[in-house]
Amino acid sequence: MQNNLRNKEFRTVEIPKWGNYLRCQWRDCFASHLSSEEQKMIGMDDFLWHLCSWEKVKCFEKEEAIIAFNKQSKYKCTIFYQFIDEAYLINKANTLKVTDLPYEQCHLYYSDIYIMDWNSKWTFIMTHESKCGPYFIQIT
């Protein structure tokens, strides 16, 4: 975890081995409108964010996604990765911004980072692909 999150007023709790659980929860919350077969067809078994790049969900992209994330009300959220099972719970996340995210670690492991509201009402995704993302999905 980057020092950015440790040096702020956030309360960061490491939740080891929660990655798979959170990826499944993310899929259930944001891609449940697609059948398992449809999810496989767009490659969600490889990258969850294909939901956005294949335009199967309404989302903000690029700068609009960053603005939406930075403006989003945040109390408690999780941070997890595409291929790594470590995850983090961020309490008192109301001032969490994109610049605070542990994205360098994401690139180190050739992964993607997902930030998800504790109540699964929104998610912000930064991908390893420079042409794809970031993305922001909000459930209304």
Domain ranges of the chain: 3-138
- What letter represents residue 58's amino acid? K
Q: For residue 78, what are the β-bridge partners?
A: 89, 116
Tens of pLDDT, residues 26-43: 999 999 999 999 999 999
Under DSSP, is residue 129 helix (H, G, I), strand (E, B) or coil? Answer: coil
- Stretch (H or E) spanning 60: strand 60-61
Q: What is the rounded CA–CA span in Å between residue 20 and residue 17?
A: 7
Instruction: Measure CA 125 to chain center.
Output: 4
Q: What is the rounded CA–CA span in Å between residue 135 and residue 65?
A: 5
Tens of pLDDT, residues 39-81: 999 999 999 999 999 999 999 999 999 999 999 999 999 999 9
